[in-house]
Structure 1
Amino acid sequence: MVDYREFDFPAELCCSPSPLIAIAGLDTVNNAIHRSIWDAFHSPVGRESRAVLNFFHLTSEFKFPTMSEKQLMPNIPKGILKRNWIEKHIHYDPAVIVIFYDCDWDDESWNEKISECSSRVQSIRLSLEGRKSRIVVVLIQKQLPILASDDTTTTERAASLCVACNLDPKALFILPVVDNIHGYAIRLENAFYDLAQNYYQHQIRAVKLKLENLSKTSHQYLIVRYEFKIGFYNELKQDHHNAHKHYHQCYMSLLEIRTFDTNIYEVKVVAAYIVYKISRLLFSMKRARDALSQFNSHINVFKSMIGPPELMFEHYAWLSKQFSMFASLFDETTAESFTATQAMNPGFFFKEAAEYAKKRKDSAYNICQDVNVYPASNPLNEWNSIEFYGQRPWRLMKNINITDYDTIEADGILALKYYENYKVDHSKSIISLLGNAMKQFKNYKCPRMRNLLAVQMADEYYNAKDYSKALTLWSHMLWDYRDEGWKAIAHELVNKCLKCAYLTASVQNYVELNLEALKYYKNDDLQKSLANIGSIIQRQIPEPENGLDEYEKNIAVQMWQKCDAMKSKSVLEIDMSVTNSTVDTKVVLKDVSCDSIEIDVFLKANFPILVQFSKLTACVTCIDNSYDVEVCTDSSKLIYGESKTYKYTCKFVPSPNDIGKEITVNSIQLQLGNEPDFPIMLKFYSSTKKTKSFEREMNNFSLSKTSDDEFERMKQITSATLKPRSSRLGMVIKHDNPALLLEWYNVSVCLTNLEDRPVSDICLNLSLNRNNNEKVELSTEICEDPDKNTLSLPVDFKIGNMLVGDEKNQSFFIRSSSLDTRYFQLMISYTIEDNNGIKIACVKDVEIIIDVVVVFDISVTYMSSRFEPVSKIHIGESLIMVPCIKCLSPWPIFIENTSFQLAEHIAVSPGGYQSVLNEVVLESDESATEIICVTPSEHSENVLGCFTVNWKRSNMESNCKSGYSCLELPKITTEKSTFLVDMKTPAHGWLHTPMSIVYFLHNNSESLLTLNISMEANEAFMMAGHKDLNVTILPESTYKLHYNLYPLVVGVSTLPKMHISCNSESNDLKNILNDMLLRSLQTHIYIMPKHVPTSTAEIFN
């Protein structure tokens, strides 16, 4: 009986056969080049497009399988398929033998190399013993190949090597190892594949010749065998179409064999192997429907071919393997291409396999239960020596007389029965098949089929006495069937779960299930369930469940005696959310305040008989605290019978620390029994109340969704925020809205104690509402004094204590750097003692809304020295900046001062800067202008600086502190000019009074500048000075021209006009001269009338 295995599909049958290629001459251990060649043949690179070959290393110790003796006439075979034939062609009988040899065409010892190579070829050829395997030689060369037509030496040596080795020239290959070895390996694989195809085709022809000489009447076994061989050879050729064709012919020939009790098992085994091959090929050819038809036909044919009645279990085992095999193939196919459906998927075949495995188990129990002794003749001992698939090992025993045949046959059947009874784990097989089926039904979204199989799996665990796993599975299924409203199924599952819970001494599960059983049990069963719950409370062993045998009862009693849960625990807590009990609760929070919290508890009970509980409590939780509130402790008020709703009300005082937090009734606890016994605490969690999905679906079809049951209509209120005591502290907030941008805006809070007793720990908390975005928070500053550090939000201002009637003020300042409206939350909190000396927290919230507006609209204009707008300026040229300030504030604004913060390359012109707007008050919509003259000293793309106005509200009663407005001066294009001109004139002239005018000519270039200067006189002035002049100005220097003018008319007079020209041909310089004269020189001056004396004294003075 050693190593005996029942029917199964062997590994050599289940693999995908591919041409076998033997590799000789490679030392993969010591030679790195040989190792790289071997790795190239096994590399996954480009595997999808490469030929599928099976390589094995042919060593010198390898021995080929022994060749079968050739017979002139076909004999009567002993069996159908030989066990070693498939394995031989997959692992040991190669189609092609490849001999690798290191040899270059220009090798100095060429003759010795030829001799050594030919001896290797001859040695392998002799070891083949007449096999037709193709032999090829591959020369490993360290040089790139040369075309034979270009090298006569190469051609001659290749021919001589083929002659010496008795090789066809097409069987000689070259493998250079200095280039892309993977590319050459792929080419060699294709060549090997073609040779293997040729070999297997030759084998097919040889088998067909034998097949033609057979007779259907006397050689049925050989016909089946040869057809199978042809199909297998075609499968090795990767010709699936012809392989399927011959496998099908093989199967049809097998059906023609006449069966008896002696050969029925062999025929069934061979049929199973052939159908496996057919199904696998059909699935690979995308013919899944044909595979299904073939398998169904196969089962219909062999379903009734039972064989000896004493081996009925063997027939069921065979059928179970058939369905399991086909389900596995079906699953592989659906994973690759074929799309299964809910009505047709591998799960049904796994399920059918499990059904036959159950029949096998039942049959084995009925047939084999009396077999206790293994036969002394050991009829299964020769199992490993069986030559043909499906044959019985005892029929190979030697020295068997005809008279002993019946005895040996009976011993063989007895041995199989003994093996089935003691060595086969039926439950394990059934559970495995059911698990595979459940996985498939889960994948194809068939939940009810999955649940059905889960129940069956739990049944099998129970039969295998693995009660804990059975309880787990049944419990999960109980939840599903209960949720869908299957009361009859749920009732049956409760009974099964109770047995498992009792047999495993699981106190928790046993009590939960008994509580649920009260909903289904009546009369004696009901009394027994209640009595068992009472036994648990008294720490006693409950009565055994119905349907248990004496052995199970004894084992269970021992388990209960060792149960630690009943000894160590003081209270048994039962989560009622996982069971469907006859008790349900609902909670309503009625009055939630810091003084007290009132809770209404509604309890609905439905017991067939009166049941008395001992205590009802509510578990209330907050973030940091929890409260166990006693709702009812009078057991006389906790007696429940048939369906009725009971109402209980309780109150408790919360902790002051929980004010403002969420209070939640987490659970309601109903206690059955008292300590020092083992009381049972039923916990009803309010957060897990939910309507069953089945009930939700049925409600969709009801005419009216209203319920007559008041308890069902009632809505739970399980959580609420604990509100603080209402504050009586007077609070007046003073501020002048809107605030001005960048102003320290004053807010004053006046508090008055209107309580009838002193208050303490007063605190003002200022924070931004959630309505504000993050940008608002970053652009808001808070302080108590602008001269001190700012505070971060939220801010707490400690006020301290206040007596009755006291008043206190708290001021703070807010500066806003954006125009967004601020929504502040000002919360005042304090504590006050009640009549019992308990401190009660009081809170009052007030929202402060502060709008923000702009103070000034500031714009800057750039002008030339002639007060004309300019868009660019030259280095060294005067620039006049004119900021215009318009007041947009709704309040009058007092300008404290203005200032310019100029860049380093900007200098104030001689004469300095003095603000003209200091201490000026601007009303709303009024404007004011500042002015400054500057000169750029170098070219720069940076800004010119900033203009700042420091201001405050002119109304001192607002208490707002100073603010500021800052404007970045706009950029202006700054260029370097080779020539600049400027002039110095008095502010005005007097009639008939000489005045001096000076012209400054600046040469900013690095070369001499020669200019022609002329002055155009007019009637308004008499002029003294050069009228026409040639001037040469040195590089980086200034030339001055002085003129004296004598005014002749009063009023705005036109000054003499200067003309400048140059001898340069450059148009750029001419344009610069004209441009500078137009923008830089003053053209008019105001002439005042001469002062006339009014008295003689004044004349002489």
Structure 2
Amino acid sequence: MSPTQWDFPVELCCRPMAFVTLTGLDVVYNAVHRAVWDAFCANRRADRVPISFKVLPGDHEYPKCRTKRTSYEWYIPKGILKTGWMNKHLNLVPALVVVFYELDWDEQQWKEKQSECATRVEIVRQSLQGRNTKVAVVLIQKKTPLPPGEDVIASERAAALCNACDLSGKSLFVLPHTDHLVGYIIRLENAFYEHAQTYYYTEIRRVKSHKEFLNKTTHQFLAPSFHVDVPVEFDIYLKADCPHPIRFSKLCVGFNNQEYNQYCVVEEAYQKSDILEYSSQGPVCLVPGKTRKFTFKFVAKSEDVGKKVEITSVDLILGTETGRCVILNWRGGGGDAASSQEALQAVRSFKRQPKLPDNEVHWDSLTIQANTMIISRVPNISVQLQHEPPALTNEMYCLIVTVQSHEKTVARDVKLTAGLKPGQDANLTQKTHVTLNGTEICDDSYPALLPDIPVGDLQPGEKLEKAVYIRCGTVGTRMFLVYVSYLISATVEDKEIICRCHRFEHLDRVFADIPFLLMTDILSASPWALTIITSQLQLSASMVPVDQLESYVENVVLQTGESASECFCLRCPSVTNVQGGVATGRYVISWKRNSAVESVPVVCTVITLPHVIVESIPLHVNADLPSFGRVRESLPVRYHLQNKTSLVQDVEISVEPSDAFMFSGLKQIRLRILPGTQQEMLYNFYPLMAGYQQLPSLNIILLRIPNFTNQLLRRFIPTHIFVKVKMLSIFRTFG
């Protein structure tokens, strides 16, 4: 076999470009048309948009679109891509067909010319029957057009032409044949590229929805979800079709969270001469025709609660990593949208499966589940409510909450949340007030929900009661929310689950009562090694630590050029405007030479931290969303709006859609937020395309504060999220 047969196809070696066809240009006998064509294709610079142009007649026959099947149960194997598919969409099927036509706005025979142009557009549409290709019209004119809005006749005739050709206003362009032809052509190219991108995005979504019927993987989790205090278990199935047994040295499983990779490895040590030796008892030995199952187990991290854990790759290594080795790698994961029974029925229709021993499985009968969800630990605590309904208008209605711990250890930091359930009518929020003090009548300053009421610690079996008083100002049905949160140390597989969260962002100013992070970097410029004995952050009176201040660089040895960092979470209470900012404090480093004896005194270096500008913010918005999304999978996003002022704020909220997402939720709402309280807004985003995509933007208007802008909120609201592709791969046999 010649080496050229192993080369990549030409379609994979070239830069993919949008394919646009131009019709109505006579580049042989018309000098104006020839100049237009040369401006499109001659001497194209690298900074111009990637478009491939081709001049074709208006009645050119494009490849016909065939009707796609809705079922592929008779196709085995599935997912075979035809060799001409990429060439067809790169060079044969255009994303946009542009119809060029010479027509000025002051044409005497306007009606006849308009009818002829509409006929040409209709001919193009007939030749594209069944395709989603975009169609645009470019009018070649002799005169330079007036600015938009000044030529009334041009506006009227443009609308009439769009109506006759069944085009939108964005698909009609004017090309004056002047000395600045190249500039007009470049502007046309950018518009053509936007139309082509819209076409390709639509085709990508269509192909993805069609491709989901075609693929099948061979790894599965044992449950659709696991509690965080239960080990995650899953199986990997491998099968070899080669004529001889193969002993691999290592099996590795990769996850979207790479910290789990170390727990899912099977390794075997053997001599080089034993690679092909038959041994069905080896840890990673595959016998021809038999399905081998590998079961793995690991403990999920508490910060992954509410997230998906997904298998992204499976690696088989033949040989030694220190010498020569061959790595068989399967990429991808994701569920199979087609019915798992479809492939099973197709296999059974061709052959009868032989009966296997109880410890073996049929390869074609495996059901696939490539990801699982980590959910919260099941609380071992009981909550009971005692009250006497119905509540009367304006009375202090008493609700007794009884909490009893059934945990085997101490439930720490128990917090109670009680009040009106968020998401109901805004009028109910304004007319419902909750308090813990039943001796006084609630007024409008009391909130509708009391979050995170500290209760303390609960010993095993201990019971406590808490009285909550609710005042309802209007008649109607209300839904109340009562839940308890607490911390508990859980040991799973001899490992204690510890939760750590952090977020870094460079700030040039901070906001009052909003926590921020202060990060210190210690860089050693000494030619000798230095030992940092300890460090201390001495805050000024205007700064308050959120957590306990500790030294994280104690007894750290720094060589030349090495650095050590610490991070502190601080908060600046409300202060009046101070010229030059607010003092942060001092950072004290105690150090000495690493080679020095113990009697050598410690050197203390005091560093004055810079001042920070503190601003007050009337409304704080916090977004609670996952770290990433996945194409065509629901992405829940919760916005928390907190009123930081002493006045009731009238808030108008609107959501601007994004081309990369569909969403469900309130697109526009007006509500009131009481002083010191917060309101929650819940949305379900539905990603349509992969990559670093822009989220639907949340626009907020405070009617009491006209100068409040969304630019200030963008510091707190994420604008983009990384969306992973819903990957589908075929984990089949190898030989």
User: Scaled by the length of structure 2, what TM-score is found?
Assistant: 0.29
By relative contact order (CA 8 Å, sep 6+), the higher-ranking structure is 2
Which structure is larger by alpha-carbon Rg, 1 or 2? 1
Structure richer in helix, relative to its length: 1
